[in-house]
Structure 1
């Protein structure tokens, strides 16, 4: 992947790797009582095929900060962003606002746009004509380290 740092987000351009897949057990993993091993069917799984619907318009970005913790986006999580999706109310979007990238929930009502953080310690941002504003892409998935 190729990295590009911009403000609080670090963007990555995905590079497809032929044959890059991992073992996948179709039976699910029990979080309760163990399941007998003979119930598992082994297949191959490509995360690109699972997480990326439009390869030409998909990028990754690493989260920096705590403004979206209520939506499950934590510092250093990796976002999957699709630039081909239509931005609509309540979607989580990566936006370019006054020279910086930010990730927030879109709130659209009566022709007005707000960027809503998912942390009460951060203010809601009302977008006006004075703002240099662009919705850059829609977050489709988040990848976490455990």
Structure 2
């Protein structure tokens, strides 16, 4: 796996692994009261197949900071980012802004664009013509440690 570091995000290029998968028990796991023991089926499950739609345009990045905690993105979470998706209002995007990568929610109105954090301790960033700004990719999934 290849890594690229930035101040706010660490990017990982996934190594494709074909034919591998972990055992998946397809019965559902109760988060309420325990259910009686049932017969269950096992099958192989590949997280690449579940989380990645376009392998050539997909990257991982680790979150560094607390600006998106309201969206469920915590420090050290692993993001799945698809560069082939079109940016849309309300989507969470990884952006290159003035020499640094950041992850924020996109807000668009007419020709104006803002990067909105999901933590009131951080300011909303209005993008202007003076900014060096690129929407690098759209976050499709987050992987958390428990």
3-state SS, counterpart of residue 37 of structure 1: coil
- Residue 101 of structure 1 and its aligned partner are, at CA, apart by 0.2
3-state SS, counterpart of residue 103 of structure 1: strand
3-state SS, counterpart of residue 49 of structure 2: helix
What root-mean-square deviation, in Å, do the aligned CA atoms of Structure 1 and Structure 2 show?
A: 0.9
Q: Is it true that 1:15 corresponds to 2:18 in the alignment?
A: no
Gaps of 5+ in 1: none
State the distance in 1 between where 2:34 and 2:41 align. 16
Aligned equivalent of 1:82: 82
3-state SS, counterpart of residue 39 of structure 1: coil
3-state SS, counterpart of residue 85 of structure 1: coil
3-state SS, counterpart of residue 136 of structure 1: strand
Aligned equivalent of 2:64: 64
Q: Is it true that 1:109 corresponds to 2:112 in the alignment?
A: no
- Residue 27 of structure 1 and its aligned partner are, at CA, apart by 1.1
3-state SS, counterpart of residue 38 of structure 1: coil
3-state SS, counterpart of residue 135 of structure 2: strand
Aligned equivalent of 2:4: 4
- Residue 37 of structure 1 and its aligned partner are, at CA, apart by 3.3
Aligned equivalent of 1:36: 36
3-state SS, counterpart of residue 38 of structure 2: helix
State the distance in 1 between where 2:29 and 2:14 align. 28
Gaps of 5+ in 2: none
State the distance in 1 between where 2:100 and 2:32 align. 44
Alignment length, in residue pairs? 146
State the distance in 2 between where 1:20 and 1:63 align. 27
State the distance in 2 between where 1:61 and 1:26 align. 29
TM-score, structure 2 as length reference: 0.97
3-state SS, counterpart of residue 35 of structure 1: coil
